[in-house]
Amino acid sequence: MYLEWNVAVDEENLMLRTFLRGKFVSKLLLTSVKFSEDGKIEVNGKEENVLYRVKTGDHVRITFPKEQENERLLAEYGELPIVFEDDFILVLDKPAGMTSIPSQYHPSGSVANHLKGHYLRNNIDSAIHIVTRLDKETSGLMLIAKTRYAHGRLSTLHQTGYVTRKYQALVSGNMGMRSGSIIAPIGRNPDSLIERAVVADGKYAKTNYQVLASYPTFDHVKIQLETGRTHQIRVHFAHVGHPLIGDSMYGGPTELLGRHALHSCHLELIHPFTEEKMAWDSELAGDLAEILDQNK
């Protein structure tokens, strides 16, 4: 894979490495190009050192090393609900019950397994870099980077607020306020290897919510994250006394649903290369929609 640019007037006399850093090619990625057999940096068709000073109108092309495939990852060939794909990113609408990545005791059935099969079946020379991981029981939109360049760029955009994720959830009981924010630090639960909790020395976490509709025993809420801590939505709503329906790990009632009632319904981002603003929406998962219909 390669990327290429023409040097603009205001970029005249920059060192090549500075020019490339301005195109979001990280120092680590530049190093991987420098010390690989198949990576190279060219100016006007000729390989150049990163200390070269670019001139207006120069044509710069960087060829990235081949993505390293995880040979231990098992390929699976079931259909994936892909909603967008290009050379840099892939967005899919994950069903509930599918893990994002395999584990030691569950080496198959994950999004990553199926993505490897998708790549092999379609002769796609890309890697799997999951940007917005979803819990196994969470359904909805999920973002994957296909190259190290895209992953690094998207991670930066994510950290600076240019990747927006919105969710819908069914939370037990009725919220006291129709909209608001839950701000509470999240860290590991000292009594569990898996669970998170609101703890004094945890990392800052903020969850914004709006109640869309109220029912006798639960609220239908829309959520926008300002941070992305593990289990953040589940922990925050449990912390304020309204755990998600079906979320037995954090004290949610399980009479209506056998999985936690959380759906990733909106994803918005700046494309890592074209810088185009892009957005996708996903309809509420069928099992959650059915609960709403039954309680009207």
Query: Terminal CA-to-CA distance of the chain, rounded, Å?
Result: 52
Q: What ranges in 50-136 are assigned the alpha helix state H? A: 111-121
Residue 30 has phi, psi (to 5 degrees) of -60, -40
Length of the chain: 296
Does residue 135 have an active-site annotation? yes
- The DSSP symbol for 15 reads B
Residues contacting residue 283 through CB under 8 Å, at least 6 positions apart: 265, 289
Structural contact between residues 192 and 165, judged by C-beta atoms closer than 8 angstroms: no
Q: How far apart are CA 107 and CA 72, in angstroms?
A: 9
Whose CA is closest to 235, among 263, 267, 260?
260
Candidates 58, 93, 135, 247; catalytic one = 135
The Cα 124–Cα 87 span in angstroms is 9
Give residue for tokens 């790990």: 249
Non-local CB neighbours of 250 within 8 Å, separated by 6+ positions: 195, 231, 234, 235, 237, 238, 243, 244, 260
Helix residue ranges per DSSP H, the chain: 16-21, 27-34, 111-121, 148-159, 232-239, 286-294
Q: Which residues are catalytic?
A: 135
